[in-house]
Chain A
Amino acid sequence: MKRFGLIFLALLVSAMPSATKAEENYTFDLSEIEKKPYHFSGYIEAKPVLYGLNSNSAFYQLRFFDDPNRQALPEANGRVRLEGSYEKSIFRVFARLNTDLQYNDYAHGSEQTTFYEAHASAKPMPAVTIDVGKKTLKWGKGYAWNPVAFADRPKDPDDPEQAMEGYIVATADLIRSFDGPLTIVSFSPVLFPVYDHINSNFGQNNKLNTAGRLYFLFYDTDIDVMFMTGGSRPDRYGFDFSRNITTNLEIHGEYAWIQNTQKTVLDATGAAKAVEGQAHTFLIGLRYLTSFDLTAITEFYHNSAGFDRDDMQNFYSLVSRSFDAYQTTGDQTGLERAAQLADSGYARPNAMRNYLYIRLSQKEPFDILYFTPALTCMINTDDSSANVMPEFLYTGVTNLELRFRAGVMIGGQNTEFGEKQNDYRIELRAGYYF
């Protein structure tokens, strides 16, 4: 019996994969790390979206006034983004071209191709980089909003990680490193021209604006101080910061002061009035990672130049009266005026004063690798309306990203999210990188 036991043990041991035998023969193709002077890559995306429409809402009546009983709007979206670069010596040129395609049975098809970025760079030394051309500067520390991003287009708070189109600028990065609590200082001056064919939609034309950002890493805290002046837009100054309080808790904030902002507000009769004043805009945010890999991001955003509840209610009333007038008389004048006001600010994302953003994302729950469900809430704290967005992201296939997302608007009449054109939206985004 003892002998049989020993034979069994020997067989068991020989059957067990020893460390040496189990060791895989990992290979590496050296061409993968060979540096070429040029680079070309791209991204292609398909995004079908279903909008569940709210035909009683102000923005539905403004957009679909000639089709008052539509319940849903299916839409097909496509995107192709190509980018390439070429490097020689200290010089580099880079371009990113974006094409958006859209089709729905109301507006039919549209196509828009834009250079998101196209610039030339020189790097005479590691501490100095000079860029000229179209570029995104991406200032700020906020996740959903960046009030201090003076020289960038506003990002979409519903999808803040999307690539954005830049502006034509001349800029430089000058970096200096130190020993001690002040570790890094960098300065990024910016020349921002606004002329007939250069950045013409930014603000007042025929101005050469200047901007700058001074960055410090001081006592393990990121601090930026920035400004923009020159006349195309009112002068503005700001700062931001970011710091880890503990290894899994980060705090960040931004503040911007803008002189002489202007907005058009309406009274109860719909009469417009231009209002001037200073604007103080800030956000304060936290990012927290739990021991079970749940990341929570929360931000509070305040914009003193935003519209208040009365302003928005007067706008919604104007749309409602104009829509009724169109239905009874066919006169579009009121709707056209409302559309102009919408373009001037009432339709921009987060046009009011106070918002709370909460995003919870759980990395790889139930041991499902590369799977990240998330829940995002954008809450208007002025009128207690909200946009709640559950999503599921899967990145398990190399270079393929699949995201299913829904958005549900919560809010009654005369509230921001209650007056959006849709009650809900459902979308699937399939993106492939090459």
Chain B
Amino acid sequence: MKKTIYLVFALIIMLPFSAFAVDGTKLLQEIDRNLSPESYESYRKLINIEPDGKKKEFTLFTVKKGLDKVASVFLAPASEKGRSTLRLGDNMWLHIPNVGKPIRITSLQSVVGGVFNNADILQLDYAAEYDVLAVKEEGGEYLLLLKAKSKSVAYDQLKIRADKAKRLPAKIECLTETGMLIKTLYFKNVKDFGGGIVRPAVIETDSPLYKGYKSVMIMVQIKKRMLKDEVFSLTFMPNLESLR
């Protein structure tokens, strides 16, 4: 009964997206590739901003390979330096140097606090985690409605508003199975990072669950890099910084 209600609800949401003018899956894959190469290294800064303007900043070095392997290590602040996170498909681990062994974490937790959770920080390709339910064109934008391929994905549905010409997201709404808004991501400041990578340098996010709080992710550097699979393992986690 519950499933039927969700299905009807999803169909109601899909109604405005009924016009399939483009291949949604192909479009989503294009958006993924425009955001980043399939395998890359990057430097990012995360900033959590509290309602009173107080900020907390984190700097991360991240490597990704293929569809389902991504790892990050914190470079700053000093209290977080050396902490590393690893994602292999649905599996996520956190390694804290003092504590030692990597512990399993979940996508909805946040290793940095604030509005970004682990799934946002260890982001895989959207096409790897979501099916495109519908696409519609609206002025200079595409509107894509995505549904998670499995229950283990952090957000059940995504609504992506993407620039039609650049094929880059401008805004993504992350929703629960019942359509409740969890957070909104705003993609800003499109920048040429070299190597053919032109993408938003800033992702801001806010959430009705964290009223007044905002988190910002700044992409500082991103470039193609192919690494060995062995790098994406629990055993290698303490050594991630050696890849820099």
Q: Interface of A with B (CB < 8 Å)?
A: 19, 23-24, 26, 28, 30, 32-33, 35, 41, 87, 92, 123, 125-127, 129, 136, 138-141, 143, 160-164, 173, 175-177, 183-184, 186, 188, 215, 217, 220, 222, 242-244, 246-248, 250, 252, 287, 289, 293, 295, 363-364, 367, 369-370, 395-396, 398-401, 433-434
Residues in chain A near residue B221, CB distance under 8 A = 33
Please state if A163 and B98 are interface contacts (CB–CB under 8 Å): yes
- A32, B228: Cβ atoms closer than 8 Å: no
Question: A26-B45, A177-B232, A220-B91 given. 8 additional CB < 8 A pairs?
Answer: A41-B78, A126-B227, A160-B99, A175-B230, A217-B91, A217-B234, A246-B152, A369-B213
For the complex, give the distance between the alpha carbons of A220 and B234 in Å: 12
Q: Does B197 contact A (CB under 8 A)?
A: no
B175 proximal to A (CB < 8 A): no
A23 to B203, alpha carbons, bound, how many Å? 11
Nearest first, the 9 closest Cβ-Cβ pairs linking A and B are A138-B100, A177-B229, A433-B79, A433-B78, A186-B235, A127-B230, A163-B98, A175-B230, A184-B233
- Interface residues, chain B, with chain A CB atoms under 8 Å away: 43, 45, 47-48, 50, 54, 56-57, 59, 61, 75-79, 81, 88-91, 96, 98-101, 103-104, 106-109, 113-114, 151-152, 186, 188-189, 202, 210-211, 213, 216, 218, 220-221, 227-236, 239, 242-244
Q: Which residues of A contact B78 (CB under 8 A)?
A: 41, 399, 433-434
**Contacts A220-B91, A369-B213 hold; do A250 and B104 have CB atoms under 8 A apart?**
yes
CB pair A32–B76 under 8 Å, yes or no, is yes
Candidate in A19, A32, A33, A162 with the most chain B CB atoms within 10 angstroms: A33
A176: chain B residues within 8 A (beta carbon)? 230
Question: For residue A136, which residues in chain B have a CB less than 8 angstroms away from its CB?
Answer: 100
The 8 Å CB contact of B236, one of A41, A126, A140, A295, is: A126
The answer to whether A28 and B218 have CB atoms under 8 Å apart is yes
Across-interface contacts of A434 in B (CB, < 8 A): 78
A33 touches B75 (CB 8 A): yes
User: Nearest Cβ distance between residue B184 and chain A, in whole angstroms?
Assistant: 12
Give the distance to chain B from A175, nearest Cβ to Cβ, in Å.
Answer: 4
- B232: A residues at CB distance < 8 A: 177
Asked if residues B234 and A184 are in contact (CB atoms below 8 Å), the reply is yes
Kindly list chain B residues whose C-beta atoms are within 8 Å of the C-beta of A246: 151-152
- Which chain B residue shows the least CB distance to A397? B56
Contact assessment for A247 and B106 in the assembled complex, using a CB-CB cutoff below 8 Å: yes
- With A217-B88, A370-B113 as given contacts, are A161 and B56 in contact (CB-CB < 8 Å)? no
A161-B99 contact, Cβ under 8 Å, with A26-B47, A217-B88, A220-B89: yes
Do B77 and A220 have beta carbons less than 8 Å apart?
A: no
Find the B residue at minimum CB distance from A32. Answer: B59
Pick the residue among B88, B91, B113 that contacts A364 (CB under 8 A): B113
Interchain CB contact under 8 A, B108 and A248: yes
Q: How far is the CA of A222 from the CA of B91 in the complex (A)?
A: 10
Known A-B contacts A32-B75, A173-B235, A370-B56; the reply to A123 vs B242 at CB < 8 A is: yes
A-B contact count (CB 8 A): 146
- The docked-state distance in angstroms from the alpha carbon of A248 to that of B104 is 10
Does B218 contact A26, Cβ atoms closer than 8 Å?
A: yes
A126 to B242, CA, bound (A): 9
Q: List 6 A-B contacts (CB under 8 A).
A: A28-B218, A125-B228, A138-B101, A243-B104, A248-B106, A399-B77
Q: Are A247 and B61 within 8 A (Cβ)?
A: no
Q: Which residue of B lies closest to A128 (CB)?
A: B230
Q: Are A175 and B220 in contact (CB under 8 A)?
A: no
| In contact, B79 and A395 (Cβ under 8 angstroms) | yes
The distance in angstroms between the C-alpha atoms of A396 and B54, with both chains bound, is 9
Complex Cα spacing A33 to B219, Å: 12
Question: Which listed residue, B107, B152, B213, B239, touches A129 by the CB 8 Å rule?
Answer: B239
**Nearest CB to that of B96 among chain A residues?**
A161
Q: A401 — nearest CB in chain B belongs to which residue?
A: B79
Query: Do A92 and B242 have beta carbons less than 8 Å apart?
Result: yes
Q: B233, A186: Cβ atoms under 8 Å? A: yes
Residues on the B chain within 8 Å of A395, using CB: 79, 113
User: Nearest-CB distance from B168 to chain A (Å)?
Assistant: 16
Residues of A within 8 A of B113 (CB): 363-364, 369-370, 395
Q: How far is the CA of A434 from the CA of B104 in the complex (A)?
A: 27
In the complex, chain A residues whose CB is within 8 Å of the CB of B76 = 32
Q: Find chain A residues with CB under 8 A from B233 CB.
A: 175, 177, 184, 186, 217
Q: Are B56 and A367 in contact (CB under 8 A)?
A: no
Q: Which residues of A contact B188 (CB under 8 A)?
A: 23
